[in-house]
Chain A
Amino acid sequence: MGTYLYAITAAGHPLRLKGLNGVGDPAAELRTVTTKDLCAVVSDAPPELRAKRRDVAAHQGVQERLLVDGAALPMRFGLVGTDDAQVAAVLEQDRDSYLQRLSEVDGCREYHLKVERDEDDLLREIMRESAEVRQLNDRTRQNPGAYDDKVALGELISREVQTRQERACADIVARLAPAAVRTADVEPTKQHFLNVSFLVEREKAAAFSEAVHEEAGQRGDTYTFSLHGPLPPYSFV
């Protein structure tokens, strides 16, 4: 059957798990595996567990409840050990590392920021600033069959896009990072040139949020900022 692992906390955590459901259908009952210094929230692992809505929500629900009362290390969804004894063995074996990580995220929340920019706006900027792009653009407009010119134009733009996006990304992160404890880069997606998580102290959440708004305001309305949080510190454990 196996043991499904939700989160790891320090042994002193109140672990108010009442009313929470575990993964699976019917929902597995939550229980804890404790060692001298650490505690793991676990349940039986349901057979054929998948990332169904109910299961992901149950996993997330445990994290949110634990966070209210103290630091917790959220596990990635879907981790299953052989049994409780293996969980206890892992807690013992990596005790120092887990205690260290718990102290790092104590009192902090994750905020995830994605930023996209209107593509036409970026292309216009590139056109304004690059004579070579303007030349190639004129040539390919007049001669739509000029395949090589088109590829050359596109390659030039592609390089410019990447350079400018990387610069904007670095600028934005540099301006927001002082309001956060740590940052964790995520690969940019095609839509969002910036995709970054920030670990923010709870007391500084309002200031961080304000910094994001200020940055968004300065960037203007061709940018879209999407801020998600407060979240369990998934990216910082």
Chain B
Amino acid sequence: MTAIQQSNAPTSGSGSGNLYDVLELILDRGLVIDAFVRVSLVGIEILKIDVRVVVASVDTYLRFAEACNRLDLESGRKAPSQLTDLVGEATESGAKGKSKGALTGAVEAFSESLQKGQEDSAEEEERPARKSSAASNRRTARRRED
């Protein structure tokens, strides 16, 4: 059975990754009016990296080659199925409480890893914004290493 993570389950606690996606929708999607000003979201734009460019790089080729060299064909190891469950009811009441919980959770998780990655403690309320920037920087860095 495949692992399915559903972000709006209040107890899922499955890390910042999937919760972060909800935040991404709020910041990156939604209706825009051209005549209006958009508040500055420092660092957020960095998230939009063209993956295709990253994939077609010599660094990526070497990483794939090495991963392939290391691959043990015999083992056929299966990824552990970390079933965190699950969809359950997609009800309206579920929607109200749960997606909000997920959002809060996301930002909290961000703050946590921000603290790990960045020692200078910004004022409490600035963390979500800064965190986004820190997270995307780290992502970028990881991609470059790859």
Residues of A within 8 A of B (CB): 2, 5, 8, 25, 49-54, 56-57, 59-61, 64-65, 67-68, 73-81, 86, 90, 101, 109-110, 112, 114, 118-121, 123-124, 127, 133, 136-137, 140-141, 144, 150-151, 153-155, 157-158, 161-162, 187-191, 197, 202, 205-206, 208-209, 212-213, 216-217, 219-231, 234-235, 237
Contacts and interface: CB of A to CB of B under 8 A. Distances in A.
Given A60-B99, A221-B79, A230 B94 contact: yes
A137 B68 contact: yes
Interface of B: 1-8, 17-18, 21-23, 25-33, 35-42, 44, 48, 50-52, 54-56, 58, 60-69, 71, 73, 76-79, 81, 86-87, 89-92, 94-96, 99-100, 102-104, 107-108, 111, 125-129, 132, 139, 143, 146
B94 to A, nearest CB: 7
A173 B23 CA distance: 23
A237 B39 contact: no
Nearest to B18: A226
Contacts of A231: 22, 25, 95, 99
A2 B35 CA distance: 13
Contacts of B55: 158, 161-162, 190
